[in-house]
Each structure stands twice: as C-alpha cells, then as structure tokens.
C-alpha cells in the first residue's frame, strides 16, 4: 500500500505506478535508509516523540529487516513498494504494527532521500578513492619497472622527442592525483546532513540537528531547509569528477591501444585482458582498454543528464529529481569498474624495449638537439631551426637519420658544425639534457618516482 492513500478516492493506473515507482533503482539505498531511520528514531526520542522502549523496538526491528533483506534485492523489488523509503516503512509496520507508523513523525521523504543519497555518496566515494589510489600504485610500479625504457614522445601523433616509459607513466600519476584531490574535495563539501529539514520548511519537532548529523557521521547539519531538500550538487560533482577521471582513463587507454598496435608495437598487453577474433586467428585485441575508452562516453552522458534535469527546477523538491540516481549509480559503477580494469591492465604491461627504442631513433626526434647544438655555437635559435629543417629535408631524401649524414654534408648547411656534433645526436644525449624539474632525463624521472613513492 502507498504511504499517501488517504487523500485519494481513485486508484493509480498500472502505467502510472510503473512510471512513478523508483524501487527498481533506489533499492540500493537500503542500508542508508535504515541507518537514517535508526538515527531519526533516536532523534525523535530525544525530542519526546517516542519512549525509549519504543525507540528500542523500532531500531531492533530495523536491524532485523536489514539482516533479512540485504542480500536479496530481488525480494525487495518484488514487494512492489513505491520506493526504498516506502519499502522500509511498510516492512517496519508489518513487524511492529502501529509503532512503525510513528517513525515518520516530523520527517519527509524529501529530507530522507537527500540524506540517504549523501550517505551513499560518502561510502561509494571512499571506495572510489581507494581504487584511484590502486591505479596510481599500478602506474608507479610500471614506472619503476620501465623507468629508463626509451620510446618516442609525440605531439600531433608525430614523433617529436624521445621520452622514457617511466616519464609517460608518471604523467598519468599526476592526472590521477588530481582526480584524487578533486574527489576528496567533493566528499568534504557533501559532508553535511539534510535530515531534519522536513519536506522543505524544516521539521516542527525539537530535533538537535547537529547531534543528528554527527550520529550519522556527517561533519555538520545543512543550514537551509529549502536548499537541503533540493540540492543535488553532490550528484553533479561526483558525475563531473568521474567524467574528468574517465577522460584520463580513456586517454591512457588510447595511448596504450596505440602502443600495443602492430604499427607501434612498443608494449604487449597480457593475455588476461585481451581477446581474440572469431575469424582472424592472429588477433589479440585490446578490448579492456577499448571498453574503458567507450565507457567514458556513457559517464559524460549521465553528467549531461543530471545537469539538464536540474537546470530549471524551481525550489524545492520536484519529482524530476528522482531521476538523479540511475545516472549516478551507473557513473560510479562504470568508474569503479574501469579503475579496477585499468589496474589489472597496468599490472601485465610489458614494454618491448628494442622496438620502442628503434622507433625513438627514427622520425628525426633528435632534430631539436641539432638546433640546440647550433645555438651553443652562437647561431640564433630561429635561424638554427630553419637550417635544421633543411638538413632534415636532405636526410629524408636520402632515407637516413641525421646522425648518419657525413660531416661535410652537415657543414654544407652550417660551417660551424664540427665532429663534436655526433654525441649530441644520440638518444642518450637527447634524454640526459632534459635534466630539469619535470623533464624526461632518467635522473629526473628517478627523482620524481622516489618523491611519489615517499608520499
């Protein structure tokens, strides 16, 4: 039976019930709803609404209910209740009779759902934080294993300058560290409790809302009842933090898909995260990474969904807001799955050092070094840039790398070039010169890794 039948003489249509009910989605808030209900029972007991015995009976029945149904969501859904709040209340009434009907005194489903969802966000957010840290650890381990493996660095997907694999891995560590701090920030901001705000105007009972907030593990109570029941910023922030993080995961996936391609062949992915083709026996497809890249799109979709749902809602609660949960749940599920999968992929990545090095040696990735050499001999950089461009054109025509051009040929472009140019053109020298904070010199990458590991 619905919680609100008194005012109605007619029945809901079947279609309306299907359309309106949120239990098939919000059954996931069972634990939070019961936790909130226990805290509310205690709060209204303090306010003189219930006796200690009544409170005791209610909290015990709530605990029993949780134990009975928490592992059988299908049983919850089969109850046909309108939402998780109606489910818990009606089960409570079935257990303790009329006493169960007292629990909702001074409470509304509006402050109830806002509280349940924030409790869920806190719990799930903490889980996501631990997964982000795992991916970061996986990248640090990979950086350590492959610290000095050389590969081409790209801009415009054109070979630009050589970098080390460790440097590549630490680039993503920076991104995931920002994701971690963004999520921590969102969790701090959502750490306020809406319970006791009633339907919109505040509850009429003498509840100590700060004590209630503390009993639920919140840092404090929310300060404005209209805002409290209609605020879904935390849903938007988590979807937004997830979107940014999924963008990072997707870029990392894309890099590795390319590195793993037949054309690049810089890395090999482990068998446990790749699949074969039903037709082509030679294939080993990077499905895990492609799905990470693909799921980013669906997470962005949910962010757009909730932003659009909220944009024109008048204060305070509107049923539109019931649409917040499906997207949020899917976002947090997808994000957590992708982080787990990324950690597993990183564990098994093997770098094909010879191929990666050979690729770094091709494509004139040392052209900047030749320009810097000319600058060192007194030529202005812009002129050196032009001269080296001509040398590269020559080398391309001959199908040779810069270091294979004889000294006379080089001198034909700039007579200040001497025999000492050749060591400057080596990969080792390209790397070693970038021994500057944030640079790819092995020494710098080692220092960066050590600093991250010490954190």
Q: Which residues bind ligand ARG (CB under 6 A)?
A: 22, 26, 83, 109-110, 113, 317, 319, 321-322
CB–CB of 221/115 below 8 Å?
no
Tell which residue, 36, 58, 200, 59, has the closest CA to residue 119: 36
Rg (CA), the chain: 31
Task: Please name every residue paired with 154 in a beta bridge, in sequence order, or none if there are none.
Answer: 159
The gap from C-alpha 384 to its chain's centroid, in whole angstroms, comes to: 45
Task: Kindly state the smallest distance separating residue 227's Cβ from ligand ARG, in Å.
Answer: 16
277 a catalytic residue: yes
184: exposed, middle or buried (Cβ count in 10 Å: 0-12, 13-18, 19+) = middle
Q: Which of 12, 156, 278, 336 is catalytic?
A: 156
**Nearest distance in Å: CB 38, ligand ARG:** 19
Compute the least distance from the CB of residue 183 to ligand ARG, in Å.
24
In the complex, minimum distance from the CB of residue 115 to ligand ARG, in angstroms, rounded to a whole number: 11
The CA distance from 218 to 85, in Å, is 20
Cβ atoms 249, 342 nearer than 8 A: yes
Q: Which is nearer to ligand ARG, 123 or 322 (CB)?
A: 322
CA 392 to chain centre: 43
Residue 90 annotated to the active site: no
SS3 state of residue 314: coil
> Which CB, 109 or 159, lies closer to ligand ARG?
109
Please identify which of the residues 13, 261, 277, 386 carries the catalytic annotation.
Answer: 277
* DSSP letter assigned to residue 275: B
Q: How far is the CB of 197 from ligand ARG (least distance, A)?
A: 13
Shortest distance (Å) from residue 321 CB to ligand ARG: 5
What is the DSSP pairing of strand 150-155 with strand 158-164?
antiparallel
Instruction: Judge contact between 338 and 130, C-beta under 8 A.
Output: no
49 Cβ partners below 8 Å, 6+ apart? 102, 105, 106, 205
Place of tokens 């303790």: 96
* Closer to ligand ARG by Cβ: residue 26 or 89: 26
Other CB atoms within a 10 A radius of the CB of residue 10 amount to 5
Which residue, 87 or 168, is less far from ligand ARG as judged by CB? Answer: 87
Comparing C-alpha atoms, which of 41, 31, 28 is closest to residue 65? Answer: 31
Output 22 or 260, the one with its CB closest to ligand ARG: 22
Identify which of residues 36 and 166 has a Cβ nearer to ligand ARG in the complex.
36
Q: Which is nearer to ligand ARG, 317 or 364 (CB)?
A: 317
| Minimum distance from residue 83 beta carbon to ligand ARG (Å) | 4
CB 54 within 8 A of CB 353: no
Residue number with CB closer to ligand ARG (60 or 308): 308
Return d(Cα 350, Cα 348) in angstroms, integer.
6
Q: How many helices (H) and strands (E) does the chain have?
A: 20, 6
- Distance in Å, CB of 123 to ligand ARG, minimum: 18
Sequence-ordered alpha helix ranges (H) in 231-286: 233-259
Cite the active site residues.
Answer: 156, 277
């Amino acid at each position: 039976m619905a919680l609100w039948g008194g005012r109605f003489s007619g029945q809901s249509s079947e279609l309306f019930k299907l359309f309106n009910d949120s239990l098939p989605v919000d059954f996931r808030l069972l634990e939070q709803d019961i936790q909130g209900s226990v805290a509310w029972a205690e709060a209204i007991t303090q306010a003189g609404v219930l006796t200690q015995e009544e409170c005791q009976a209610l909290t015990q029945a709530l605990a029993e209910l949780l134990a009975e149904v928490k592992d059988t969501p299908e049983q919850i859904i089969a109850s046909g209740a309108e939402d998780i709040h109606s489910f818990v209340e009606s089960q409570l009434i079935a257990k303790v009779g009329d006493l169960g009907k007292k629990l909702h005194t001074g409470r509304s489903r509006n402050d109830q759902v806002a509280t349940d969802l924030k409790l869920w966000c806190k719990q799930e957010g903490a889980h996501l934080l631990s997964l982000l840290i795992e991916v970061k650890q996986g990248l640090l381990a990979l950086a350590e294993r492959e610290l000095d493996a050389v590969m081409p660095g790209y801009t415009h997907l054109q070979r630009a300058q050589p970098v080390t694999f460790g440097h590549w891995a630490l680039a993503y560590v920076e991104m995931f560290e920002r994701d971690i701090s963004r999520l921590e920030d969102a969790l701090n901001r959502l750490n306020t409790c809406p319970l006791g705000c009633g339907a919109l105007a505040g509850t009429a009972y003498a509840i100590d809302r700060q004590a209630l907030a503390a009993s639920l593990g919140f840092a404090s109570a929310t300060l404005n009842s209209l805002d409290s029941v209609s605020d879904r910023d935390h849903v938007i922030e988590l979807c937004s933090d997830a979107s940014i993080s999924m963008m990072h995961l997707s870029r990392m996936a894309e890099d590795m898909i390319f590195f793993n391609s037949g054309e690049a062949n810089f890395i090999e992915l482990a068998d446990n995260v790749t699949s074969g083709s039903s037709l082509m026996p030679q294939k080993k497809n990077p499905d895990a990474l492609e799905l990470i890249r693909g799921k980013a799109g669906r997470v962005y979709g949910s962010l757009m969904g909730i932003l659009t749902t909220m944009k024109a809602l008048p204060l305070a609660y509107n049923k539109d807001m019931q649409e917040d949960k499906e997207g949020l749940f899917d976002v947090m599920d997808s994000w957590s799955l992708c982080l787990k999968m990324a950690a597993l992929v990183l564990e098994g990545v093997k770098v094909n050092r010879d191929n990666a090095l050979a690729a770094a040696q091709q494509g004139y990735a040392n052209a900047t070094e030749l320009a810097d050499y000319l600058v060192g001999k007194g030529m202005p950089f812009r002129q050196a840039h032009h001269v080296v461009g001509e040398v590269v054109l020559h080398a391309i025509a001959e199908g040779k790398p810069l270091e294979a051009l004889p000294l006379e040929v080089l001198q034909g472009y700039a007579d200040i070039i001497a025999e000492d140019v050749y060591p400057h053109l080596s990969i080792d020298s390209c790397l070693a010169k970038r021994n500057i904070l944030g640079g790819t010199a092995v020494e710098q990458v080692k220092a960066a890794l050590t600093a991250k590991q010490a954190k």
